[in-house]
Structure 1
Amino acid sequence: MASDRERAPLVEQVEELLAAGGPLPIVAAGDPVLRQGTEPYEGQLGPGLLARFVAALRTTMRAAPGVGLAAPQVGVALRIAVLEDPAPVPDEVRVARGRVPLPFRVLVNPSYEPVGPARAAFFEGCLSVPGWQAVVARHAEVRLRGEDEHGRALDEVVAGWPARIVQHETDHLDGVLYLDRAEPRSLSSHQAMAERWNQPTPEAAARELGFGLPG
């Protein structure tokens, strides 16, 4: 458990963030907090403040809007992330990407490892890298371990788009941005995505922009 001396700066930081009310400011790429990794959550905030912080992360994620948000993205270097994806997509996208609804959940001290060799590549974006998307090949299935916000253990296999979200948000907690794993030639503005690459898979983009896909 964290000592009182270790708790104080984090408590003060989170209390100050929450004092403004509403969605929290999202940190953009270039801020060191996104690259320095996080410390394990060991009760530094206490149950009440943790609940308030989680609620603020949820509000911020939904307002952005996004399907996940990690604590470093609001400047807090703790190993906490929230996920939620209502998956309002056409059937062809759902089938191609394995994008199924992901109810709201909190990950505390999460880690993941691949289940099998299969990888899937799709365009991906990030609230901390606004205006851009790129193709990222990720594990098709992962084993997620960690805890929820109540300290209950998590140990489950996640597949499809939810697995992508788990990997993306857990990477944030390790100081990794999706761009670190992306195919550089695929980098596309939101305008290019809307005008050219809005298909269920990135095959056309790979062909025309000149990059490879797994398998």
Structure 2
Amino acid sequence: MHLTDAVVAAQIDDVLTRADAHDGVAPIVSAGDPILRTPVLPFSGQVDDATLTRLAEVMARTMRAAPGVGLAGPQVGVGLSIFVAEDPAAVRSEIATVREREPLPLRTVLNAEYTPATGEHVAFFEGCLSIPGYQAVVARPRTIELRGAALDGTPIAEEVTGWSARIVAHETDHLGGILFLDKAEMRSLSTHASVARLWNEPSTQRAAAELGFTLPSGPLL
């Protein structure tokens, strides 16, 4: 897929039109669509501020309706460097503690990039709205350095840690045409039902032992 500023502007117009016909919620693109494998264009004024704000609003509404905790431009068919994220962290306290999962207020990030802040990685099950029904364990940096811009153009340069770092990394990967399964431990691939029934625990130690894969710091983390 060849992206140009004109193509991206047309994609945004299409998404907004379709969302207007469905209570402000856009269709989510599923794996197999080339847009999910095409690196996006940076935002450089392809649309005006009002249109960009409407896109962010539609993406947030779509994310919440799914429901999910993050959504990137390609997931609504837009090859633009934008993602939204929001996590109420509505999980059991013991899970929140182990996974360092704290509430993440709604945010929109343009032109996001990240780098690991340390060499420490943590591995947990994660899923994707574009790959419904499945989860797999992904090792990601525990802490990342996020760079980009807020919706109003304010520069972002901050350290993000814990589960919020996982969300940000996952959504930023989408902007480069990367899906979480590209980085997953494939022996851990499970349906949502299997994760809920077998692996709904704070850590992935038992899943690693019983499914036969290695966690970042060794077989049992």
Category of TM-score, reference length = shorter chain: over 0.9
TM-score by length of 2: 0.93
Q: How many residues align?
A: 210
- How far did residue 180 of structure 1 move? 0.4
Give the residue type in structure 1 aligned to 2:42.
P
Q: Secondary structure at the match of 1:76?
A: coil
State the shift of 1:192 in Å: 0.5
- 1:12-67 deviation line (CA, Å, top 9, x unaligned): 32222212322100011111100111010001111010010000000000000000
Aligned to 1:9: 7
Q: 1:160 — aligned with what?
A: 162
> Root-mean-square deviation (CA), in Å?
0.9
Are residue 28 (structure 1) and residue 69 (structure 2) matched?
no
| Partner Cα separation in structure 1 for residue 48 and residue 9 of structure 2 | 9
Aligned counterpart, 1:18: 16
Give matches, 1:9-158, under 5 Å.
9-20=7-18, 21=20, 22-158=24-160
1:7 deviation in Å?
Answer: 4.2
Change (3 A) 1:127 1:86: same
1:3 aligned partner = none
Gaps of 5+ in 2: none
> Could you report, residue by residue, the CA deviation over 1:91-124 in whole angstroms, capped at 9, with x for unpaired residues?
1011000000000001100100111111000000
CA distance in 1, matches of 2:185, 2:60: 30
- Structure 1 SS opposite 2:101: coil
Q: 2:175 aligns with which of 170, 173, 183?
A: 173
Stretches of 4+ aligned residues off by more than 3 angstroms: 6-9
Secondary structure of residue in 1 paired with 2:12: helix
What SS class does the counterpart of residue 172 from structure 1 fall into? helix
